[in-house]
Amino acid sequence: MIRRLLRALWLCSVWLFVGAAAMAQENPLGRWDLRVEDDRQRVIVESTVRLTAYKGDGCRSGDWRKVEVEWSRRPNAGSFPIDEPLTWMLDQGQLIIGRNGVCDGYLQLVGPWKNGEPMAGDYISLGMGARRRWAGSH
């Protein structure tokens, strides 16, 4: 069962994260348009999210903050948990967004933070002592 779930998660490979209100800021707070694609570049989630300063829950250590989903749609089947509680944080120049409150079941979007520039990164599953990484396009 767990192997099937991990294989299903491997199908999601690329995410694109473009900022609107936060473009000129030195931190990622604000409204963002989020687009998650699978390995065939089909969109599995499109949404508008707000990265807030409110403290969020995370099993991993760090300064996790809440993500508010303002709007979302799923044009194709996929596994990004847009309907679940999401949190974000900056860690060593990487912006991390995802389901971080499920211990040993993290699903994260990770990409380099460059002071609000449009960005792309990887979709990562962390859990049970393993880290899985999919190549993303930058």
Q: What is the mean pLDDT of residues 22-46?
A: 79
Say if CB 78 and CB 45 are below 8 A apart. Answer: yes
pLDDT score at 116: 66
Residue 62: CA count within 13 A, CB half-sphere: 20
Q: Is the pTM of this model over 0.75?
A: no
Say if residues 55 and 133 touch (Cβ distance below 8 Å). no
CA dihedral 126, 127, 131, 136 (to 10 degrees): -30
Share of the chain above pLDDT 70, in %: 72
Q: What is the mean pLDDT of residues 100-106?
A: 82
pLDDT at 11 over 90: no
Q: How confident is the model at residue 23 (pLDDT cuts 50, 70, 90)?
A: very low
Q: What is the pLDDT of residue 31?
A: 92
Closest listed residue to residue 97, CA positions, set 25, 23, 28:
28
